[in-house]
């Protein structure tokens, strides 16, 4: 464990590890939460049973499906920050509007960790994934919806192909750097 830059000194920080399905959000998010000794939320756990069934059937979610889910993720973030605690959440937040739901009003306390990945790696990972409700057939809809994080959103950009340990170190360096500004 480190002297957590996510809770050390100033106000707590919540990291949102984002990207399309198969980008490695959960793996990196859990590794970060473990290293920082903070709570971890797998955003997929907050999808409604109806949304899970829809995806399992190979049907992409609509904005109407996603808004209530995003509000549940936002409530988790709000609760962490209200308690004075940091956290890490793995959440696709494919569009800027979705990310705005999570960040709005907490711009200094919520940071995006944007996993940068190409279609080939996503397809490979999804094809090898077992036990997840999102089938590989939804990759194209994920990519059609995806809007990469912009510089204005101040993302910490991490190549999804990096080893997890390297990605964790890069995120921690970036968080330390921003906390010192």
CATH of the domain at 110: 3.40.50.300
Is 41 contained in some domain?
A: yes
Fill in the DSSP letter of residue 18.
Answer: E
Is 52 contained in some domain?
A: yes
Gap between the terminal Cα atoms of the chain: 23
Is 5 contained in some domain?
A: no
**What distance in Å separates the CA atoms of residue 104 and residue 110, rounded to the nearest whole number?**
9
The total number of structural domains in the chain stands at 1
Of 43, 27, 179, 58, the closest CA to residue 111 belongs to: 179
Q: What is the mean pLDDT of the chain?
A: 85
Position 181 scores a pLDDT of 33
Domain that holds residue 119: 14-176
Position 2 scores a pLDDT of 44
Q: Centre a 10 Å sphere on the Cβ of residue 44 and count the other Cβ atoms it contains.
A: 19
Instruction: Tell me how far CA of residue 70 lies from CA of 88, 158, 178, in angstroms.
Output: 15, 23, 26
**What distance in Å separates the CA atoms of residue 109 and residue 85, rounded to the nearest whole number?**
10
Is 3 contained in some domain?
A: no
Is 4 contained in some domain?
A: no
Position 149 scores a pLDDT of 94
Residues of the chain with pLDDT under 50: 1-3, 5, 7-8, 180-181
Is 6 contained in some domain?
A: no
State whether residue 157 is helix, strand or coil: strand
Helix intervals (H) in 49-163: 49-56, 63-82, 96-103, 119-128, 139-145
Position 8 scores a pLDDT of 45
In terms of phi and psi (left: phi > 0; alpha: psi -120 to 50; beta: otherwise), the region of 19 is left
**What distance in Å separates the CA atoms of residue 117 and residue 130, rounded to the nearest whole number?**
20
Position 157 scores a pLDDT of 96
Q: What tokens were used for 167?
A: 């990605």
Is 149 contained in some domain?
A: yes
Is 181 contained in some domain?
A: no
Of 97, 128, 107, 110, the closest CA to residue 24 belongs to: 128
Look up the pTM and report it. 0.85
């Amino acid at each position: 464990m480190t002297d957590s830059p996510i809770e050390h000194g100033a106000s707590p920080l919540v990291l949102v590890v984002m990207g399309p399905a198969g980008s490695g959000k959960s793996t990196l998010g859990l590794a970060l939460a473990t290293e920082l000794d903070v709570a971890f939320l797998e955003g997929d756990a907050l999808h409604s049973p109806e949304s899970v069934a829809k995806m399992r059937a190979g049907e992409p979610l609509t904005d109407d499906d996603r808004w209530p889910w995003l509000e549940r993720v936002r409530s988790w973030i709000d609760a962490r920050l209200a308690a004075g605690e940091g956290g890490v959440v793995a959440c696709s937040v494919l569009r800027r509007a979705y990310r705005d739901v999570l960040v709005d009003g907490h711009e200094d306390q919520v940071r995006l960790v944007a996993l940068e990945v190409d279609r080939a790696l996503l397809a490979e990972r999804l094809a090898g994934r077992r036990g997840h409700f999102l089938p590989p057939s939804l990759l194209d809809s994920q990519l059609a919806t995806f809007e990469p994080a912009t510089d204005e959103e101040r993302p910490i950009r991490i190549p999804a192909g990096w080893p997890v340990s390297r990605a964790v170190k890069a995120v921690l360096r970036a968080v330390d750097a921003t906390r010192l500004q």
